Amino acid sequence: MSVTTTPAPVLAPPLAAPRSRGYWGTVGYRLRHDPVTLFFGALLLMIILSALFAPWLSPFDPYKESIIRRLKVPGYMGHLLGTDELGRDMLSRLLHGGRITLMMGFVPVLVATLVGGGLGILAGLAGGRVNALIMRVMDVFYAFPSVLLAVAISGAMGGGVFNALLALSLVFIPPLCRVAETATTQVRNLDFVDAARATGAKLHLVLWHHVLGNVLGPILVYASGMISVGILLGSGLSFLGLGVKPPEPDWGLMLNTLRQAIYVNPLLAALPGIAIFLTSVSINMVSDGLRSAMDVRL
Amino acid sequence: MSAAPLFLRDPRDVGGPAQPLLDVRDLRKHFPIRGGALQRVVAKVHAVDGVSFSVMKGETLGIVGESGCGKSTLARLLMRLVEPDSGEQVFDGEEVGSARGISVAGLRRQVQMVFQDSASSLNPRMPVQGSVAFGPRAHGMGPAESVALARELLQQVGLNPALFGPRYPHELSGGQKQRVNIARALALRPRMVILDEAVSALDKSVEAQVLNLLRSLKQQMNLTYIFISHDLSVVRWISDRVMVMYLGEVVEIGPAEQIYTAPRHPYTRALLASRPSMDPDHRLEEPPVTGDPPNPVNPPAGCRFHTRCPHAEAVCSARAPRLGLTQGARDHHAACHLHDPASGHSLAMVRH
């Protein structure tokens, strides 16, 4: 009988004491102490809120044209950010454009996470023929470059916001499916899943507590990185005339139409680009911060 | 969690002390190797090939053998983490998986396992007390109650629950993680624990601590162990009986002292000779086996050891020897033609 009790280290750092926060508590604690993520999180929140409340925030009607007020500099007669090539208020159009642009980022990723992530987890858990079937179908989609695929799908189905969203969703499903499948297959074969099964617990409990938690992390991190890709691709589709149709305001479309104004008023031409840039940078920074906050090993 | 007095019988003890706790008959598992475009079975790995043995209540059965001999597959078969192709498994008189016997879930409540890799056998995103509490929780115990039990068990395996309970696995050392794994295995109050290379990955000093812990837990909780290892000295120290496996088959089984002092099977002798001797006067003269074990996809015909055996004769490659009682010893079985007078081997029954 020589059970050796491991003694507490004498010089234990005081950091070891407040350890009872639980998983989400720890994540929250880390996020609160990460100024970069907080800053970009606030910026992103601001962008989302201003898009959401665009009708109330806009000083002018975004569709109201004026032949005499075309391409005016910021500050001209109450137009805080100037006017575009048809004399419409830039600020109002940017605020309204954010609604569609952000939707292009979030909706396809959400759809692809649910469909692709679900299929991937299923493939990983089932293994064998089900896995082969799902993953080979994904490989077919993988054979096309994603931009080309998005252009081809919306080109074939015609323009419009709904078709663009559908095209982007289809483009995002294969990579998310692959990430989910890889993570699931990896986790499924680890000993702790066997150990959990060996307790005689019901299968859904094992999956819920031991598999899903370890799979969702990589999927969410990857998905959040896709949001900015979605915004860029969506803007690209609008730029090519495959997404949003004029006069609907959209950042990509605005970028396209205003590029002719680059010699007259370069700042105006740059504004939609700046908006796209700020949004994708903040999304990337926030997803990066989330990733490090959610990794318990750090 | 006090030590149960010996006269107080476990209410789960069905057959009494004379009935083996676990009886395995002709257990077999061949893993298919698929190949080609149609994923047809092109070959089979004979991982466990007709293994029979029994484990008495309260004893420790050591299982030794080279890597790839089927030790770990056997452990997973016993837990039904892998489905056997054939064979029966009787737990305390009740056949596992049959309608009138014990269910697989019922078996898993009474038999638990400690895995070799202490790191990958704990969920990295769960505090260790959560991992220990998972089993009781899954069987309907309340959240507060199961965590309290987990902390009690951590205390019992020598970890301060206030300090270590809320930690994540990566914050623990290998030895500490293995203690947590042991605590988890004990959380369901099993009657049998399968220790699959449970101490092999640990430093020697930590290994000794964990072995002592295992021994005292066994006394306190009336446990029966199956101790799988490739470390012959450790197995000798902890085991009452030892089973030697080679290429998915049992070649010798008997009391630990006899296996180590009077091995009967040439493979066992070679295995023992391969370990560095502690005492120059008791050095075994048998040469160690050379070469690698044959591929378990195509095991040799007849006796599987004949390709490396110093006493191999024609009969060895022609007929497979049966596991039989050896002369002059009680409860000591070996599967070798040398110990079967009717085998036709020229050296049969000659004293070794």
**Rounded distance, CA B49 to CA B85, Å?**
10
Instruction: Choose, out of B118, B120, B186, B203, the residue to mutate when testing the contact with A (most A CBs < 10 Å).
Output: B120
Residue predicted with more confidence, A40 or B297: A40
Mean pLDDT to the nearest integer, B130-140? 90
**Rounded distance, CA B200 to CA B241, Å?**
19
Tokens of A155: 């080109």
Which domains can be identified in chain B, with CATH numbers?
Answer: 22-261 (3.40.50.300), 264-352 (no CATH)
Tokens of A282: 């903040």
**Is A291 near chain B, with CB under 8 Å?**
no
Query: What single letter denotes the amino acid at residue A282?
Result: S
In percent, the amount of chain B with pLDDT more than 90 equals 28
Boundaries of every domain in chain A: 34-60+70-293
Instruction: Choose, out of A29, A191, A203, A296, the residue to mutate when testing the contact with B (most B CBs < 10 Å).
Output: A191
**Is A10 near chain B, with CB under 8 Å?**
no
Q: What pLDDT score does A161 carry?
A: 82
In percent, the amount of chain A with pLDDT more than 90 equals 16
Residue predicted with more confidence, B114 or B10: B114
CA dist A190 to A187, B165, B198, B211, B265, Å?
5, 22, 16, 25, 36
Residue of B nearest to A12 (CA): B163
A258 by DSSP, 3-state: which? helix
- What confidence tier does B350 reach under pLDDT thresholds 50, 70, 90? low
Tokens of A216: 């969702």
- Is pLDDT above 60 for A15? no
Q: Homologous superfamily of A34-60+70-293 in CATH? A: MetI-like (1.10.3720.10)
Instruction: Choose, out of A3, A130, A219, the residue to mutate when testing the contact with B (most B CBs < 10 Å).
Output: A3
**Rounded distance, CA B90 to CA B108, Å?**
13
Nearest to A20 among B122, B158, B166 (CB): B166
Query: Residues with Cβ < 8 Å from B26, sequence gap 6 or more?
Result: B50, B51, B52, B86, B87, B88
C-beta separation of B292 from B299 below 8 A: no
Q: Which residues of A touch B158 (CB under 8 A)?
A: 3-6
What separation, in Å, do the N-terminal and C-terminal C-alpha atoms of chain B show? 49
Instruction: Choose, out of A2, A6, A216, the residue to mutate when testing the contact with B (most B CBs < 10 Å).
Output: A6
Instruction: Choose, out of B80, B104, B125, the residue to mutate when testing the contact with A (most A CBs < 10 Å).
Output: B125
Q: What pLDDT score does A6 carry?
A: 52
Give the distance, in angstroms, between the CA of residue B97 and the centroid of all CA atoms in the same chain.
Answer: 21
C-beta separation of A97 from A231 below 8 A: no
- Is pLDDT above 90 for B183? yes
Q: Model confidence over A103-112: pLDDT tens digits?
A: 888 999 999 9
Mean pLDDT to the nearest integer, B124-136? 90
ipTM: 0.81
Lowest mean pLDDT among A137-141, A289-293, B286-290, B301-305: B286-290
Q: Model confidence over A61-78: pLDDT tens digits?
A: 877 777 777 777 777 777
Pick from A221, A226, A217, A220: nearest CA to A280: A226
Q: Which residues of B touch A201 (CB under 8 A)?
A: 134-135, 138-139
Mean pLDDT to the nearest integer, B100-106? 86
- Is pLDDT above 80 for B137? yes
Closest Cα in chain B, distance from residue A90 (Å) = 48
Q: Which residues of B touch A202 (CB under 8 A)?
A: 138
- Is pLDDT above 80 for B76? yes
Residue of B nearest to A201 (CA): B138
Q: What pLDDT score does B282 carry?
A: 66
**Rounded distance, CA B170 to CA B320, Å?**
48
Residue of B nearest to A217 (CA): B125
- Is pLDDT above 90 for B339? no
Residue with tokens 């998915």: B248
Nearest to A6 among B159, B170, B187 (CB): B159
What integer best gives the mean pLDDT of chain A?
Answer: 82
Closest Cα in chain A, distance from residue B132 (Å) = 10
C-beta separation of B120 from A192 below 8 A: yes
**Rounded distance, CA B159 to CA B235, Å?**
25
The answer to whether the Cβ–Cβ distance between A200 and B135 falls below 8 Å is: yes
Q: Each residue of B82-110: b (16+ CB within 10 Å) or e?
A: bebbebbbbbbebebeeeebbeeeebbbb
Longest dimension (CA), chain A: 95
CB atoms within 10 A of CB B230: 16
C-beta separation of B150 from B165 below 8 A: yes
What integer best gives the mean pLDDT of chain B?
Answer: 85
Residue predicted with more confidence, A264 or A134: A134
**Rounded distance, CA B21 to CA B192, Å?**
8
Q: What pLDDT score does A18 carry?
A: 44
Q: What pLDDT score does B352 carry?
A: 46
Lowest mean pLDDT among A86-90, B18-22, B235-239: A86-90
pTM: 0.78
- Is pLDDT above 70 for A101? yes
- Is pLDDT above 60 for A149? yes
Pick from A183, A164, A169: nearest CA to A115: A169
**Rounded distance, CA B259 to CA B279, Å?**
18
Mean pLDDT to the nearest integer, B221-232? 91
Tokens of B283: 């050095």
A12 by DSSP, 3-state: which? coil
Q: What pLDDT score does A20 carry?
A: 54
- What confidence tier does B238 reach under pLDDT thresholds 50, 70, 90? very high
The answer to whether the Cβ–Cβ distance between B134 and A8 falls below 8 Å is: no
Half-sphere exposure of B335 toward its Cβ, with a 13 Å CA cutoff? 25
**Is A190 near chain B, with CB under 8 Å?**
yes
**Three-class DSSP labels, chain B:** CCCCCCCCCCCCCCCCCCCCCEEEEEEEEEEEEEECCCCEEEEEEEEEEEEEEEECCCCEEEEECCCCCCHHHHHHHHCCCCCCCEEEEEECCEEECCCCCECHHHHHHHEEEECCCCCCCCCCCCCHHHHHHHHHHHCCCCHHHHHHHHHHHHHHCCCCHHHHCCCCHHHCCHHHHHHHHHHHHHCCCCCEEEEECCCCCCCHHHHHHHHHHHHHHHHHHCCEEEEECCCHHHHHHHCCEEEEEECCEEEEEEEHHHHHHCCCCHHHHHHHHCCCCCCHHHCCCCCCCCCCCCCCCCCCCCCCCCCCCCCCCHHHHHCCCCCEECCCCCCCEECCHHHCCCCCCCCCCCCC
- Is pLDDT above 60 for B2? no
Mean pLDDT to the nearest integer, A34-57? 89
Pick from B244, B201, B224: nearest CA to B112: B224
The answer to whether the Cβ–Cβ distance between A197 and B124 falls below 8 Å is: no
**Rounded distance, CA A2 to CA A8, Å?**
18
Nearest to A3 among B117, B124, B216 (CB): B216
- What confidence tier does A113 reach under pLDDT thresholds 50, 70, 90? very high
> Using CB atoms and an 8 Å cut-off, which of residues 208-247 of chain A contact chain B?
209-210, 213-214, 217
A55 by DSSP, 3-state: which? helix
Give the count of Cβ contacts less than 8 A between chain A and B. 104
**Is A17 near chain B, with CB under 8 Å?**
no
CB atoms within 10 A of CB A227: 25
- Is pLDDT above 70 for A207? yes
Pick from A204, A222, A212: nearest CA to A187: A212
Tokens of A163: 């078709």
The single-letter DSSP state of residue A293 is H
Pick from B177, B195, B190: nearest CA to B136: B190
B195 forms beta bridges with B114, B227
Longest dimension (CA), chain B: 68
| Strand B324-325 to B333-334 pairing | antiparallel
**Is A200 near chain B, with CB under 8 Å?**
yes
Nearest to B138 among A19, A192, A202 (CB): A202
Q: Model confidence over B152-167: pLDDT tens digits?
A: 999 999 899 988 888 8
Tokens of B299: 């095991």
Q: Model confidence over B27-52: pLDDT tens digits?
A: 999 988 887 777 778 888 888 888 99
- What confidence tier does B8 reach under pLDDT thresholds 50, 70, 90? low
